[in-house]
Amino acid sequence: MNLRPLAVAVLVAAGAALPLSETISQAPRSPLAAARLVEESSGPAGLGWGKLRAWRRAGDGWLLLWQPSHGAWLLRALVEDEAKPVRWRVHAAPWLPGVRLSESLARRLIVSEGDGDTHRLERPARRDWDFAGRRVAGALELGQDLPEVAARRLGGWPALLAGALLAGAVCLVVLPGNITHRWTLALAGALAALIAVAPSIVALGYGVFRVGVRPWVAQLTLLAGLVVVCAALVALATRYGILQGRPRAVELAAAAGAGLLAGRMAPVEVGVSVAGLTARPLVWLAVVLALGYLAAVAAIGLRELLHPLRRLRLLVLACLSAAAIASAGPWLGPAAAVLFASAVARRRAAWAAATVVCFWIVGSTMASCAWVEPLRDALLVLLAGTGALASLAVAER
């Protein structure tokens, strides 16, 4: 009797159902719904907002950005998940003309008492006021400063993974094995599709939209950066191809379980922003293939670096996994993909890594999003993936 399908189901179910403590709260609404909330409830009157250009998940809320096509000002709004009033702030170019209000008039404009720090800023053709974070430019109320999103430290894991990637690339040249170009073709196709839908994913470039920069230039910058990165990935995959090998169902099921656990343990904030896109399945596909490829190369490198340890290799990998769970944070998914793929045979590393990444995305989305569209898509991917693994298990001898 073939028990492999049952093992597949158990491993995937374990990854999906093992109880874990929540690290971030689920986003209750999509960025588009949050934007509607802002447009209906608040914001500066008498000022053209332009289109909704970008969004970003920040803690327990959405940061949203509108900018008109001339780019001379932009509007940022923070919509928190709990029922709090929406906070917004207009950023205006310093050269925009206005009036030079006295302090009392400026205070009257924003109905502010005379407490807190007050700063006056003389611009070339107007006067700005800052009343403890509430700002006025000329005769225009700019709103209140929004909380800064703290920049995260990269930590040691990206360096470790980059080192393994370098070692893997060298290994693939020195010990090439039987290279297949199907992965490279699939990767190139997915990245080409990603570039084709790039206009709909520029909403992820929250930091690129700046005052004074026309939105089309910001979008062009994002597109050009994406093209450069994709071209570099394809060139890398052409030079350092993936080894040919047949996948094993139970191995992949274990990878799927590990990916689901990694995604649920440490969901990534950028994943929540991606979930707000309509082209999210295509982004997921490109990320699975690109990150899966890179993780496979890094896994080959890590495997060869640990080769002198022989049987102790698995013990070291287990220790590294424990360390990753404790300290990797948002890098847990890529680290899990590399560590898991380095535990399997070289020729099956790409399948294992891609499976970990795919189910890491599913797990992360299910743990961090609470609105229906991404949950539906993640569930579909989960069911389709599990079905594919079960079919593979049935077909295996």
**Interacting residue ranges for other proteins, rule: CB under 8 A:** 71-72, 93-97, 124-125, 166, 169-170, 173-174, 208, 210-214, 217-218, 220-221, 224-225, 228-229, 231-232, 234-236, 238-240
Q: How far is the CB of 72 from other proteins (least distance, A)?
A: 7
* Ramachandran quadrant class, 166 (left: phi over 0; alpha: psi -120 to 50; beta: rest): alpha
| Closest approach of other proteins to the CB of residue 355, in Å | 26
Q: Per-residue b/e over 205-238, b at no fewer than 16 CB within 10 Å? A: bbebbeeebbbeebbeebbeebeeebeebbebbe
Question: Is the distance from CB of 381 to CB of 360 less than 8 angstroms?
Answer: no
CB 42 within 8 A of CB 36: no
Residue 351 Cβ vs other proteins, minimum distance, rounded to whole Å: 24
CA 68 from chain center: how many Å?
A: 26
Q: Among residues 133, 125, 134, which one has the least CA distance to residue 94? A: 125
Cβ-contact 383, 13 below 8 angstroms: no
Q: Kindly state the smallest distance separating residue 237's Cβ from other proteins, in Å.
A: 10
Residue among 140 and 252 whose Cβ is closer to other proteins: 140
d(CA 36, CA 32): 6
Crossing angle for the helix pair 249-265 and 372-395, to the nearest 10 degrees: 160
- As measured in angstroms, the least distance from the Cβ of 294 to other proteins is 12
Least separation, in Å, of the C-beta of 193 and other proteins?
A: 19
DSSP string, 16-64: HHS----SSPPB-S-HHHHHHHHHHH-S-TTS---EEEEEEEETTEEEE
Beta strands in the chain (DSSP E): 51-58, 61-67, 73-80, 87-92, 118-122, 127-131, 134-137, 140-144, 179-180, 242-243
Q: At closest approach, how far in Å is the CB of 259 from other proteins?
A: 26
Which lies closer to other proteins via its Cβ, residue 58 or residue 226?
A: 226
Closest CB 219 distance from other proteins, rounded Å: 11
d(CA 44, CA 57): 22
